[in-house]
Copies of this chain bind each other. A is one copy, B any other.
Amino acid sequence: MTVHILTIGDELLIGQIIDTNSAKMAQMLLEIGAKVAGRTAVGDDHESIIGALQQATKQADIVLVTGGLGPTKDDVTKKAIADFYGVGFVFDQPTMDRLNMIYERIGKPITEAVSTQCLMPQNATVLTNKMGTAPGMWFEEGGKVVASMPGVPFEMEYLMQHEVLPRLQERFKALPTAHRTLLTCGEGESTIAEHLKDFEENLPPQVKLAYLPAIARVRLRLTVSDPDASFVEKTLEEKFREMEGLLPPHLVAGYGDETLESAIGRILKEKKLTLSTAESCTGGYLAHLITSVPGSSAYFIGSVVSYANAVKMNQLGVQANTLKQHGAVSEQTVREMVAGAIRLLGTDFAIATSGVAGPDGGTPEKPVGTVWLAVGNKERIVTKKLQLTKNRLLNIQYSAYYALNLLRLFLM
């Protein structure tokens, strides 16, 4: 089955928003063995949407539409889809009931604009959106499927996972397909690719290896598709083992859906160990990554974000002399921050960060992007210096992930 993705919204065309939905949808589709054949973006314009739908339904079996389902006037997708099919609207009581519940809970009256969300094209199957007010819609005509979802990323993801993908799997008989993923951390795509060069070149045609790089991490996804389901299972198992065996063990950080932060959480939980952070340049982002994992309260005690030097001294016990002699961005300071966090918050381990995140604040000796990391327990502290970019947000993210990886290696 071939899929065309149609994204709708003026904000996409003027470049105000980067389209992350398309990539996410493509990844989700791959997991059920569906291939994206093409992608179109149009503005919030009635004629353009209809034209794009005509084109897309000619080219693909399935057209997935995102965007333009909100209650405001610039959102015209629903009307355009109805006109594309030449149908009118019907009032959908279940949607009204759901909206009533939502607005009751937040204690606000339903506006006229909101209530128009209950009007649905006559031929639509309503897809319940538990993450927002605008429902999704499913259409089948002439052997082609059109599914429409809101453009808000988490609403789209919810509807894809719970409504669209299961329907597509039922509707189209997909080739037996299976995936396994391996999370690596600490080396870039090209280094990983060197380790896997021969492996990749000799893969049978039913097996595909994809590199999914992210900050400080590369996820490897192995996919096998074949009419013979037992071949799929056997080959995936074999090739996955072979691939993992070719990588230096310290690069392997997790499996499946694991993230670096959840993999670390799993280890800490198993070993009944606790963690705290003492953050300067990461400004709370490291604690955020750790606490984004459900159940992290079992091992994460807390963090001191010591943006001001006074907090480094008064809370974390960094010596005034250390700051004076070596500066806040130094190996000595992050060492004392780790020791201070362990003492103050009573944890087995602590991570500390201090750096020049930028864009300003650099000096010739410590230019923007200079970061010191430390990880340790009561017995031992390891440190690492990074020389990162000129981009503040990237520096924060890199520092946090490298620091987590330093902890992972420390725990190994």
Give residues in A with beta carbon < 8 Å to B: 10-20, 22-30, 35-44, 48, 52, 55, 70-74, 105-106, 108, 111-114, 131, 152, 154, 189-194, 197, 200, 208-213, 221, 277, 279, 282-288, 290-292, 294-297, 300-308, 310-311, 315, 344-346, 357-361, 387, 389, 391-394, 396
Contact = CB atoms under 8 A, between A and B. Distances in A.
A38 B52 contact: yes
Given A200-B73, A391-B131, A40 B38 contact: yes
Given A292-B283, A297-B308, A392-B294, A18 B13 contact: no
Contacts of A38: 13, 40-43, 48, 52
A27 B16 CA distance: 7
B294 A283 contact: no
Copies of the chain in the assembly: 2
A284 B294 contact: no
Nearest to A400: B288
Given A131-B391, A152-B213, A279-B287, 19 more contacts: A11-B210, A12-B23, A12-B26, A14-B36, A14-B210, A16-B212, A39-B42, A71-B193, A72-B192, A73-B193, A111-B193, A111-B194, A283-B292, A285-B288, A285-B291, A291-B357, A302-B306, A303-B304, A315-B345
Main secondary structure of the interface of A (DSSP, over half): mixed
Contacts of A284: 277, 279, 284-288, 290-291, 303, 305
Contacts of A358: 294
A393 B190 CA distance: 32
Contacts of A291: 283-285, 305, 307, 357, 396
Contacts of A112: 194
Given A72-B190, A308-B302, A35 B16 contact: no
Q: Which 3 A-B pairs have the closest CB atoms?
A: A283-B291, A284-B287, A15-B26
A209 B23 contact: no
22 contacts: A13-B39, A14-B26, A15-B27, A15-B28, A15-B36, A16-B212, A16-B221, A37-B42, A39-B41, A70-B213, A72-B189, A106-B387, A113-B193, A152-B213, A277-B284, A283-B296, A292-B393, A300-B307, A302-B305, A302-B315, A305-B305, A315-B315
Contacts of A297: 307-308, 361
Contacts of A279: 284, 287
B70 A189 contact: yes
B305 A210 contact: no
Contact of A190 (B71, B194, B286): B71
B24 A22 contact: no
Given A189-B72, A286-B284, A288-B284, A13 B25 contact: no
Contacts of A396: 288, 291-292
A20 to B, nearest CB: 5
Nearest to A358: B294
B315 A344 contact: yes
